[in-house]
Amino acid sequence: MSEEGSLRTSLSKPRPFLGPPRVLAPRKAGHVSATVQFIVPGLAVSGGERERLVGFFDHVGAGVHAAAIERVTNEATGQTGILVSATFYVPDQGPDDADAAIDTASALIVERFLGMLSFLAGVRCVAINAQTTRTGEGSTFATTLEPSSRSGPAAPTLQWAAEPFGTATPPPHVFNALLWLRRGLAARDPLVTYGALMNGLQAAARELTAGAPAGERCPRCGSAAGEATEAERMRAVVVERLGAPAELFDRIWRARDAALAHGDQSVTAEALRRLTELKFDAATLCYKAIKLALGLPVDGPPALDRSQFITSTLMDVH
């Protein structure tokens, strides 16, 4: 196949070209095929684990036709990682619309895969050198190289539950929870970390309460399930479903209000200190809620790495 690269920017160094796509979707009437490729740095997986990870693409809900994962090594640093490739279709609605649809689908596939991966690793997994290849006429293809991205932090280790995502695509609320969980895992800014983790917990809680019978009453306030406030629904999930102390819920919810600047007070250094102290608790509850929504044992794997949550209260202030 011929290789044609294109750059969207000339103002910064483009990402390294990862080579021809490892997987390509065959032609399909009325559709355009494309392949997204990216590297997850620092992740070492066995051959069996790579096969299981490839299976995740059956459940990302983004129409992936085929996927491949291979082990790669940075020759300069010796750091290992995985090269992920996923090929998919979008409707052929003209060049501009197709390009926009390809970019949107690529971003969704990468985000959902990284959310699943971060859930298993217990740390925030990142993608570097992501690039999308569009299939052209005949045997040609064109690859878009975005500006360079930075490599990720410490090497994660996957912690497998028996079947972490079962045999079905997770529901939208669970994907939303995974999206926010990845952004909250070991982020440097405690305000951003805590807000993301609470958003993840709330998304998982919505999935857990989505099937509540219409006539069911909140045991705390007596309101019908559909009439309960967000705080009341969250309390019911955290205290009754996850078994956390009511006092812990009160503390994390007050800290959540401070993180989101609810009320008429600015975020203070004391509020940031509380967020730093509580973010591991918030992450643990978020993890347990996602496990419960996925039908996994809440105290089984995967588990968080507590050391990743030891950060300064006023990070990045020099």
Which pLDDT belongs to residue 291?
Answer: 94
Tens-place pLDDT, residues 219-239: 544 555 556 788 898 999 999
- Whether 71 and 82 have beta carbons less than 8 Å apart is answered as yes
Rounded Cα distance between 295 and 280, Å, is 22
- How confident is the model over 186-205, as a mean pLDDT? 86
Which pLDDT belongs to residue 217?
Answer: 54
Sequence spans of domains, the chain: 4-145, 172-309
Q: What is the 3-state secondary structure (H, E, C) of 229-295?
A: CHHHHHHHHHHHHCCCCHHHHHHHHHHHHHHCCCCCCCCCHHHHHHHHHHHHHHHHHHHHHHHHHHC
3-state DSSP assignment of residue 197 = helix
Q: Which tokens in the block code for residue 193?
A: 């970390």
Rounded Cα distance between 89 and 101, Å, is 9
Average pLDDT in the chain: 81
Which pLDDT belongs to residue 277?
Answer: 83
Place of tokens 């309960």: 228
45-59, 110-124, 138-152: range with lowest mean pLDDT: 138-152
How much is the pTM? Answer: 0.73
